Each structure stands twice: as structure tokens, then as C-alpha cells.
A and B are shown apart, each in its own frame.
Chain A
Amino acid sequence: MANLTVEAQNARIKRSMRNDRIATGILTLIVGLVMVIVVSMVLYILAQGFGQLLQPGFLTEAARANGTEGGIAYQLFDSFYLLILTLIISLPISLGGAVFLVEYAPEGPITKIASTAIETLSSLPSIVVGMFGFLMFSVNFGWGYSLISGAIALTMFNIPILTRVIQQALEDVPASQRDACLAMGLTRWETTLHVLIPAAMPAIVTGVVLSAGRVFGEAAALLFTSGMSSPARLNFFSLNFASPTCAWNIFRPGESLAVHIYKIYGEGSPEAQHIVWGTAALLMICVLLFNVLSRIAGKALARRMTAE
């Protein structure tokens, strides 16, 4: 380097600076392209569906004529109900798994196999998970097309995502916090429960809400498990949990928004297309809201926990 002439050095600097400018240009272009794709998709779907969303009764009425008329109130309810059921099942399992892997698991083959298994589960195609759910829960267990079968199928790919997120959140808690607890004579469990999980809470909440967005938009795994139709009439005030019309009955079939889009679009009746677009717009708005909400909730929690 030292024996280069001044001219050679200057040429080299010029070259580096030119390369830097080219790279900046290309990277900006790529990001710009991605943004154009996303924005135009969102705008197109909103333009197609927003009018339908504002139609009176679309969000509050039940579907009629096999979904080609009326509203999507039950599908909207079923989507959220499926999501809540899924979270109720998958959150404790994922939390337990993540805590075990981060805090307890001894280094060794069993831990490695467990980690690999969880990662494999996350890359299974959702249609395969749905098929397994159908054969296992709907047929073998005799639950038929039911919300609970759907929720368990969704749980199967929510677990790896959640476990990974919670694992990361726990690992990001500074080791000094763990040390402080253990050095004060607290057990590993007390340390985890009272210090590590609270400290990791903002990241955990962000992860849970983000995964909720994914679960909410899932269709393939639900086709075979929770089915492709909601009951024609749902009674939200019934507490007879065995009744097929009771909204809260987890053994009744149910249809998520995403499945509803698939079904109505597949039936190809042109007069029902506005319903498809309306549903798509609603689904997209919900998922976007989940994303925004996850950031806001995570930040608010983090602010509350650190200095106020």
C-alpha cells in the first residue's frame, strides 16, 4: 500500500467511491421495487374491496345463499375465535418449550434433536399439516370438521414460530439479570418466572401478535380441518356448548376469512366477486393492524418496564 504512487492511490479512492455509489443506487432500486409491489397490491385490493366493506350489513350480517350474498360476520367471528383457540393451545406449549431449551436443557443430543424437530415443523407445508390434522383429529378422533381440529392444525405451525421468538427473547435478556437472581438464592424457576419472562415480555408480545397475523390469514391447513362453511345460524347467547348453533361450541365447523375467499372465488359466480374482494380487503386490513399493533404493544411494554 505504502509504495503506491499518489496517482494510483487517487485512482483507487475514486474507483471505490464510484463502486459505493453504484451499490447504493442498486440497493435503493431493489428496495424501491419491493415497496412499489407492496403498495400497489395493497392499493389495488383496497380499491376493489373497500366499497363492499362499507356496504351496510357486510360486517354484521350472516352469509346467505351459500356465501354469495349477505355479509361475512360469522367468518370474521370464526377467524378470531380460531385465532384465540390456537393461541390458548400454542402459547403455553411454546413458552414451556422455549424456557426448557434456553434455561434448563443440558447440552447434548436430545436438546439438539428437539431444536431440529421444532425447526422442521416450521417448514412443513401447511396443506400437509392440514391433511394430517384431518386424518388425525377429524377422522380418527371423530371430531369431524370442527374449530378444535382447525385450531390444533394451526397450533402445529404456530408452535415453531412462537418457540423461536420466545427463545430469542429469553436469550436476549442480559446474563447479568440471571446472575443477579441466582446469586440471591432464587431457584432457576423463580428466576425464569419473576425476572426473565417479565424482562423478555415486550419481545414476546411482539412475536405473539406477529404470529397471530400469520395464523389469521392461514387457509390451506383449515380446508380439511375446520371445514369450508360456518353454520347458517349462530347463537352467540347460547351457553349450550354442545349445540351445533352455539357460537362458542368448539366442535362445530367454522370458516375463516381466508377459506371463505378460497371458497367463493372458486365457485366462480361473477355476481359474488364483490364479496371476495371485500373479504380480501378486510383480511388484509386485519393483518396489517396486527403488525402495527405488535410494534405499539411491544414498545409500550418496553417503555413501561424501563425508566419512566
Chain B
Amino acid sequence: MTNETDQFLKSVGSSEISKRTAGVAISDEVVLETRDVNVYYGDHHALHDTSLKFHKGEITALIGPSGCGKSTYLRSLNLMNREIRGCRVEGEILYQGRNINTTKENLYELRRSIGMVFQQPNPFHKSIRENITFAPKRHGIKDKATLDQMVEESLRGAALWDEVKDKLDQSAFALSGGQQQRLCIARTLAMNPDVILFDEPCSALDPISTLAIEDLMTSIVADRAIVIVTHNMEQASRVSNRTAFFYMGDMVEYGETDQIFQRPNDKRLNDYLTGMFS
């Protein structure tokens, strides 16, 4: 375990960068934006009029108590909510300035540009290599050299290469939980998405693997936007540039992370941060 972590920290070495840049806004280039998004599960109105902007090179954290609508909102951004029976998303979701919340939108095309990493590490029942090449192959990349290069680059990008380069053809299930999650990130990186959505990516991991994932996020955010849903307040303040606080289906407060954590305006946010409820 320690060996794995040492190896990892050496290969990333970005902790310092993350400490310098987190907490404040650093970019004004909007990649993804929502305008008055509402989400319904059947008759239940789960999310009200949420408008947010996500910037290139920045990590945005979505925080709030369980059931506040933050995951629902996240799953709207790549239209994953459409896969849930009875779920309806209204409002505009603008990706690179184009509204994608239309029936004409090609979901399959879109989801290659907006990747997603889930709460539970969910590698496929395939080898490490195939976990990465599976989707690109389905999308039409056949050349073996290109695929091999893709495997190496994305595993390096996810700081996993040194740990798995000798066992690429072994089952992904032989990896530890933290390694599996980094494999899932590598798999997403292989498609070179403009946005990566993280849905509580560390809640099933131990503290050391959690730090590893946080460093990783900081190291891959440069040319894309990252949105992370988290229950972990320290995590939000460690990694994110901006933070949005959700409560009972409303987006209550949004701002630079330092401001949100140190000078909250809304009483509910203040109560949440001081542990009045969770």
C-alpha cells in the first residue's frame, strides 16, 4: 500500500500546484453552462432553476447535504438523467455555447466530450488494456499502434502507468479500489473530454487513495473543466476553485471556494459549514 502510494506521489508531484491554485477563480473561459435547469422525477420536482458556469482549467465543487439535488444536477450535465425512467430535464444546458438539452442532440457524441467518473469504481469485466480501448474501439479507432499509445498516455495521465505497465492484460478487478478508480479516470481521459464530471469519486476509497485522486484531478484539469460532487468539505476546499452549495433542490450560493468557506453569505450555508446539519 505505502509503496503504491509513494510511487504514485512521485509520478504526480502536483500537490504543490494544487495548493497554490485552489480556492480562487483562475479562468473566465466558459466550457459548460446551465440556464434555469429544472429536473423532475415523475411528479417530484427535484431541482429548481439552477444556473451555473463551468470554466476551463478550473475545478468546481458541488456541495450540500444528502438529497439536496447536487448529484441530480451533475447527472443532467451529460444528460445521464435521460437514462432514468420518468426523469425529465428542463432548461438550457450550453456546451461550448450550444444548447444540448434538445431531443436532436446526439448523446453518444456528446458523452465523449463530457466524461463521467462514478462513486463506486466501475471498471468493466475486462483486462486493464481493454478497459481503456473498449470505447475508442467502438468509436471506430482500429489501428493497434494508436490504441497502444492511447493506453500508455491515458494511464500516465491517470498516474497509473508505472503500477500496471507489466500487467496490462490482467483483469481490472485484480487492482485495488484506488487503482480501479484511477483506471476509470484513465478510461475517461482516453477520450480526451473537455469536461469531466466526478460523482463523489472518493467516497468508497481510503484516505491515501483519496489524496491520490485529488492530486490527479489537479494534474488533469489544465485544458478542461472539472465538476465534482462531494460530501467531504475538506476535499472541496482543497481542490476546487469555485463552489456551489445546494440545499433542498435549490442552488443556494455560488462563488470562489475561499469566499464560500470563509465568508458564506447564506445562513443555511453557514449552518451547513459549521455542522449544524449534514
Contact residues of A with B, CB < 8 Å?
106-107, 174, 176-187, 190, 194-195, 198-199, 305-308
Contacts and interface: CB of A to CB of B under 8 A. Distances in A.
A290 to B, nearest CB: 26
Contact of B86 (A107, A177, A185): A107
Interface in B126-162: 134-135, 138-139
Interface hub of A182, A185, A190, A308 (most chain B Cβ within 10 A): A185
A223 to B, nearest CB: 44
**Secondary structure of the A contact surface, majority rule:** helix
Contacts of B118: 176, 179-180, 183
Interface of B: 78, 80, 83, 85-86, 107-112, 115-116, 118-120, 122-125, 134-135, 138-139, 170-171, 173-174, 184, 187-188, 191
Most chain A Cβ neighbours within 10 Å, of B111, B123, B174 = B111
Contact of A185 (B111, B125, B174, B184): B111
Contact of B125 (A179, A183, A198): A198
B108 A180 contact: no
B17 to A, nearest CB: 28
B79 to A, nearest CB: 10
A308 B170 contact: yes
Contacts, number: 73
A176 B108 contact: no
A198 B173 CA distance: 15
Given A182-B80, A183-B111, A308 B171 contact: yes
Contacts of B116: 179, 183
A184 B122 contact: no
Residue among A107, A176, A195 with max Cβ neighbours from chain B (10 Å): A176
Given A180-B184, A182-B83, A307-B173, A187 B108 contact: yes
**Nearest 10 CB-CB pairings of A with B:** A176-B122, A183-B116, A185-B111, A185-B112, A184-B135, A307-B174, A307-B173, A185-B108, A180-B122, A305-B125
B168 to A, nearest CB: 14
B184 A199 contact: no
Contacts of A306: 125, 171, 173
A185 B80 contact: no
Contacts of A184: 111-112, 115, 134-135, 187-188, 191
A179 B80 contact: yes
27 contacts: A107-B85, A174-B122, A176-B120, A176-B122, A177-B125, A179-B83, A179-B122, A180-B118, A180-B122, A180-B124, A180-B184, A181-B124, A183-B80, A183-B118, A184-B115, A184-B134, A185-B109, A185-B110, A185-B112, A185-B135, A185-B191, A186-B138, A195-B124, A199-B125, A305-B125, A306-B125, A306-B173
Most chain A Cβ neighbours within 10 Å, of B80, B135, B170, B188: B135
Contact of B138 (A174, A180, A194, A199): A194
A195 B111 CA distance: 18
In this complex, the member of A174, A184, A198, A306 whose beta carbon has the largest number of chain B beta carbons within 10 angstroms is A184
